[in-house]
A and B are shown apart, each in its own frame.
Chain A
Amino acid sequence: MAVLTTARAESPDTPVTAPGKRVRRRPSFGRVVAWAVMVAIVLITLLPFYWIVRTALSSNTALTSDPSSPLPVGFSWGGFARVFGLQSTEEALAQGGAGGSLNFWRYLLNSTFVATLVTVCQVLFSAMAAYAFARLRWRGRDRVFGLFLAGLMVPTIFTLLPNFVLIKELGLVDSLLGIALPTMFMTPFAVFFLRQFFMNLPLEMEEAALLDGAGKVRIFFRLSLPMASAPLITLGVLTYITAWNDYFWPLMVSYSDSSRVLTVALSIFRSQTPQSGTDWAGLMAATLVAALPMLVLFGVFARRIVNSIGFSGLK
């Protein structure tokens, strides 16, 4: 029942022949309607992104007088300047900003730090555990794996409150480490997903390496891990995006600039509504800053990720 990416679909993008491939060239009425619906879906999917950019490049005064122009109105970089704290308070207030100090460089850095720490550690530790479950022989292996699997049944949200109590007892509230810690070591899904992959690797190469006298540690790091680079990258990118986008947990743990990540900063920016009305240009600029890194990351790995979303049935 795990969230479902699998190495199986990782095979190069062989164009699967659409089951209902038609020989006739003349487009039927149904096909035209189907394509029209598809185009509408693409527009609904993408237009909000365009609207972020259009608004971020507008000025607040022009937005008020011309809310529906499809192009930026009163073109201005002011929104971005406010987001990165480059405007003086008077300047910001004059342009419809809140005048509060925000420094998205700081939050960008915090988000990057947390997401990187979580991703590197989680993927490495999960891979080690997965290898031990798939390839090493030890007593109680299946029982321990069963326990890990049972962890899949606990919704993350249930562990947030007790985990907060724990992080508080550890004195890590309002620290980046406190935000990263609970997801740094493993998720049951990551272990399960990588174990599947290691189980499907052919044994021969490892056996050959063993005969050559290589130790199992060496085999893991020099042979198995490189061979698993495709699923590791998929898992890594998805973990990075999840960590970057997390809101509820950082909201509980972080209280000041020192540990504030982008999602939390964005919600604070949104709640600092000035008297005269919301600073939409600034807010959309901030939104873009929060969203763009993940969109770029996805752009680089899109094909791989899209092709690996599928089912790895839990049997």
Chain B
Amino acid sequence: MAVASSSTPRTKPRGDGLLAAIFIAPAMAGFLVFLLWPTLRGIYLSFTRYNLLTPAEWVGLDNYRRMVNDPIFWGSLRVTIEYVVINIGVQTVAALCIAVLMQRLTTSSLLRGIVLTPYLVSNVVAGVVFLWILDTQLGIGNEILGALGFDHVAFLASNEWVIPSVALINVWRHVGYTALLLFAGLQAIPGDVYEAARVDGAGELRMFWRISLPLLRPVLAVVLIMTVIGSFQVFDTVAVATPGPGGPANASNVLQLYIYGSAFGRFQFGYASAMSVALLAVLSVITIVQYRLTRAGETDLG
């Protein structure tokens, strides 16, 4: 066959099967081995008892039963949701603010570059820096509070402050990126819409509520889905910037931290997998609900 095919003139190749196979092979191998297989395996492991040393042992729904009755699991889910609500709430409003300000004031690349800067450092760097800035004794944040006449606050070491603090640290790191995404969405709104509104005597605020926000909705929806999914996976900052595993009284024991502790601290890979599956389910439901609610993908810009 090889001889025959090589002798036929290849003026019009009907298909590129072999070449495509070669081109796809590395990516396909990576996809199968490090994405598809682990996904299936993660689901499988959630039905087993597995400690890495002895082979996984099928235990049916035991892990899920345990999870439903585990107060620490529910506690960490609650902490995670509290984190997500603060993080996403503040971040979305702030990003929208920055995006609109940039749209109305200046389109300078330099300014956009500056706003994006925190996104370039790791969560670990952001965590460590704010650990220092918010240090109860010596942190400049607390020094400023003191100078203004307030008491020092143990931002990252007290039960009530730790989650809001971590949520705001991550706002600092991610808000610029989110703002640039929204800014790109705003740039797609034709300028004459604003001109027409101005001729009709609309002010900036009115234009924001009546033009920018409604026309930005599809973009906003996608950004929200993305950021919420990212936010639920919080781990780095909590692991680095809060004291001990889970912090005082599990106050900062976010779900990923509990999952990590179960797997690498107590070697309960089965149970950790079950909780991962639960998180996956929560994220899928949120994605679907948010997508439906905000009618993402539809645009009012005909």
Contact = CB atoms under 8 A, between A and B. Distances in A.
Contacts of B213: none
Nearest to B56: A165
Contact of A55 (B26, B98, B132): B132
B154 interface: no
A279 to B, nearest CB: 11
Contact of A165 (B102, B256, B269, B279): B269
B33 A283 contact: no
A19 B20 contact: no
A3 interface: yes
Nearest to B239: A267
Interface centre among B21, B31, B130 (most CB of A within 10 A): B31
B107 A18 contact: yes
B14 A161 contact: no
Contacts of A251: 239
A217 B177 contact: no
A75 interface: no
A305 B35 CA distance: 27
A52 B129 contact: yes
B59 interface: no
Nearest to B100: A34
B195 A280 contact: no
Contacts of A141: 20
Contacts of A297: 120
A20 B194 contact: yes
Given A30-B204, A51-B129, A306-B116, A159 B30 contact: no
Q: Interface SS of chain B: helix, strand, loop or mixed? A: helix
Interface in B272-287: 272-273, 276, 279-280, 283-284, 287
Interface stretch (A36-44, A76-84, A98-106, A226-234): A36-44
A9 to B, nearest CB: 7
A120 interface: no
Interface residues of A, number: 105
B289 interface: no
Interface in B99-134: 101-107, 109, 111-118, 120-125, 128-133
A4 B107 CA distance: 19
Contact of A244 (B41, B105, B122, B204): B122
A209 to B, nearest CB: 14
A159 B172 contact: no
Contacts, number: 303
Given A41-B115, A151-B31, A185-B34, A1 B225 contact: yes
B132 A128 contact: no
Interface stretch (B65-73, B79-87, B180-188): B180-188
Given A139-B15, A270-B240, A42 B256 contact: no
A22 B133 CA distance: 41
Given A306-B180, A311-B219, A266 B226 contact: no
A45 B95 CA distance: 13
Contacts of A313: 297
A126 B28 CA distance: 10
A127 to B, nearest CB: 9
23 contacts: A9-B184, A18-B105, A19-B191, A37-B101, A38-B102, A41-B101, A51-B129, A52-B129, A126-B27, A138-B15, A138-B17, A139-B15, A144-B24, A157-B235, A162-B37, A166-B41, A182-B30, A185-B30, A263-B125, A266-B128, A280-B135, A287-B128, A306-B109
Given A38-B102, A216-B19, A270-B128, 7 more contacts: A1-B222, A31-B105, A37-B97, A45-B117, A186-B27, A247-B240, A283-B132
Interface of A: 1, 3-4, 9, 13, 15-20, 30-31, 34-35, 37-38, 41-42, 44-46, 48-49, 51-52, 55, 63-64, 67-68, 121, 125-126, 128-129, 131-132, 136-139, 141, 144, 147-148, 151, 153-159, 161-166, 168, 181-186, 188, 191, 216-217, 220, 241, 244-248, 251-252, 263, 266-267, 270, 278, 280, 283-284, 287, 290-291, 294-295, 297-298, 302-303, 305-307, 309-311, 313, 315
Closest 3 CB pairs of A and B: A185-B30, A245-B122, A19-B191
